[in-house]
Amino acid sequence: MNWPVSKDPPAAATASERLLRANFRSQCWRNSAGAPMVAAEFVAEAGRRVHIVDVRSLGELTSAIGYIPRSYWVPPERIAELATRLPSTAFVVLVSRSGDRASLLARYLELLGMHFVAALDGGIRDWLLKGMVTRRSEEIITRTVDTIPNEDPFAGTAQSLGEAGGALSLDDVREHIGDPGSVRWVKLASMVVNGRQSCVDGRDDKGVLGTPGGNAGEFLLSLAAIERSTGEQVQASAVSDLLESYVQAVGRFYMHSDTDTMTRLILKLRSVPELEGLLPPLPGRPEEWRRWMANPPMVARDVLRSLLVDADYVGCGHLKRMLVHHEEYKVRPELTRAFISALYELHWAGLTTLTIEILGGDHFEGAVVSVVVDEDPLHAFSTVPLVSPSGSHGQMFLNTPQVSQYLRSEAITFFMRKHKLSPLRREHEGRYLAALGELANVQAGSTLGALADGLPRFEVRFHDEDDYEVTAAQG
């Protein structure tokens, strides 16, 4: 059922803004009462573009359960003020104890004309159950509706989406990390079974755990390490089954493309006579193409299969370079193409935990930033930061190598168990771990060396959630 709102939102000012709206809508669903809902994972990664508003009582806020860091406190009797305080196109997520109160208030705000508002599904209880961090401090009492900026300072501007351009200074990075909404924290255990690794791409405005190519890059890295350590090839016919099992094991899986690549793909598809009348009408909206690409007509899939494994239509710079410079990356191009083909087949089959995200805009990264925490080695109960690579000072390539190394060591058990699909055996473990480390360094160095050539490099080291330092990286 389509639940009505007061009116359609005004047209987005930029392509990036249209993508942000499409992404928000794609993450929302309606409960039985028609209220818009989003998952805790979405809120944890939402970044600085989304206002998180807690609607619980003062006693609940200061109880042992705590509140989501960087959120605002707006009790129900003042909730209508959000509709006059914020523009109708602001992104807002409401939080209550279980989600019931927040869902009712989200529906109310929709009726008042707000177009991108939702409630946290399961409320603060689900947030904690999924390993997200809360805070207990009376600071929340001062963060009321009166302190929420009364306009979206990021909407419709290049700088808002990290497109300021130019090299970033140490102070720029320090201010970005200290900006409310740029960092959120999560228990590492939840990332093992329910975590998404994003690419290092600076155009992403969400909080991320960054690694070259995201989950897609890490999966291909593992396959290449298996072949290197065993001396045997992973068969193309086994890649799809391995990937499906892996996605089910890790919970969520990420690969990205971008608007430029999608534009080239759309133009190519429109030039194919057999597809006439099967494509979304011009000018297509992002959500229309998102739906079409998630479930294309059967007669279009052969054409898509041939195009999507072509480097010209691979929108992730890391995966594109892996195809074009396969000898440098030490990955067989047949393996990369088998993986991309398998991923889209699973996407078309409706595997909802697999996300193909479209990033908008051009690259304006001004630095390479590595994020680490003092705790070494990491453990399942360690908390790690999700950092947004895009902010008011500009974009940054954002890498979290410490977390990626931990997750790789955890994934080895998965690949060891897939005897029918993978040649990896227990006796290969030492060689496999060595190959993982070697290939990870080679591939990250190649990608960042090419895409971030000449950019300053910094390390952000967190001592705890509030104490961090930024230093210029050595070498």
Is the pLDDT reported for residue 209 higher than 80? yes
Do residue 458 and residue 413 come from a single domain? yes
174 vs 360, higher pLDDT: 174
For residue 159, pLDDT beyond 60:
no
Question: Residue 216: phi, psi to the nearest 5?
Answer: -60, -45
DSSP string, 396-436: EEEE-HHHHHHHHHHHHHHHHH-TTT----GGGHHHHHHHH
Rounded Cα gap, residues 231 and 30, in angstroms? 50
What's the confidence (pLDDT) of residue 196? 87
Please name the helix (run of DSSP H) or strand (run of DSSP E) that holds residue 322, with its range, or none: helix 317-324
297 occurs within a structural domain:
no
Q: What is the mean pLDDT of residues 202-223?
A: 93
pLDDT for res 305: 95
Q: pLDDT grade, residue 3 (50/70/90)?
A: very low
User: Residues 98, 26: one domain?
Assistant: yes
Q: Give the domain-ending residue among 99, 129, 147.
A: 147
DSSP state of 283: S
Instruction: Classify residue 454: in a domain, yes or no.
Output: yes
Residue numbers of the domain that contains 87: 15-147
Kindly state whether residues 181 and 139 are assigned to the same domain. Answer: no
* Contact status, residue 472 vs residue 170, Cβ threshold 8 Å: yes
Asked whether residue 391 falls in the same domain as residue 441, the answer is: yes
**Of 16-20, 65-69, 103-107, 254-258, the least confident:** 16-20
In this prediction, what percent of the chain has a pLDDT beyond 70?
93
pLDDT value for 5? 46
Identify whether 407 is part of a domain: yes
Neighbours of 126 (CB within 10 A): 16
Maximum mean pLDDT: which of 12-16, 146-150, 268-272, 388-392: 268-272
Give yes or no: residues 139 and 183 share one domain: no
- pLDDT score of 75: 95
Per-residue pLDDT averaged across 202-217, rounded?
A: 92
Is residue 269 assigned to a domain? no
Of 128-132, 179-183, 419-423, the range with the lowest mean pLDDT is 179-183
pLDDT over 80 at 163, yes or no: no
pLDDT at 207: 86
Q: What is the mean pLDDT of residues 442-457?
A: 95
Q: Are residues 194 and 111 in the same domain?
A: no
Question: Any idea what the CATH number is for the domain that residue 56 is in?
Answer: 3.40.250.10
Domain co-membership, 143 together with 180: no
Q: Are residues 180 and 140 in the same domain?
A: no
Give the global pTM: 0.88
Nearest C-alpha neighbor of 260 from the set 307, 314, 180:
314
Q: Which has more confidence, 15 or 32?
A: 32
Question: Does residue 277 fall inside a structural domain?
Answer: no
Q: Which of 175-184, 234-243, 418-427, 456-465 has the lowest mean pLDDT?
A: 175-184
> Residue 216 has what pLDDT?
97
Would you say 333 and 324 are in contact if contact means Cβ atoms under 8 Å apart?
no
pLDDT value of position 161: 41
Q: Are residues 38 and 136 in the same domain?
A: yes
pLDDT of residue 157: 39
Residues 136 and 188 in one domain: no
Structure tokens that stand for 190 in this block: 């939840």
Quote the percentage of the chain above a pLDDT of 90. Answer: 67
Q: Are residues 250 and 386 in the same domain?
A: yes
Q: What is the pLDDT of residue 12?
A: 64
Rounded average pLDDT over 432-443: 96
* Residue 156, pLDDT above cutoff 70: no
Cα three-residue angle 11-17-19, rounded to 5 degrees:
105
pLDDT bracket for residue 410 (50, 70, 90): confident
The answer to whether residue 289 sits within a structural domain is no
Within a domain: residue 320? Answer: no
pLDDT at 188 over 70: yes
- Residue range 309-329: average pLDDT? 97
Task: Specify if 41 maps to a domain.
Answer: yes
Number of domains forming the structure of the chain: 2
- In a shared domain, residues 179 and 126: no
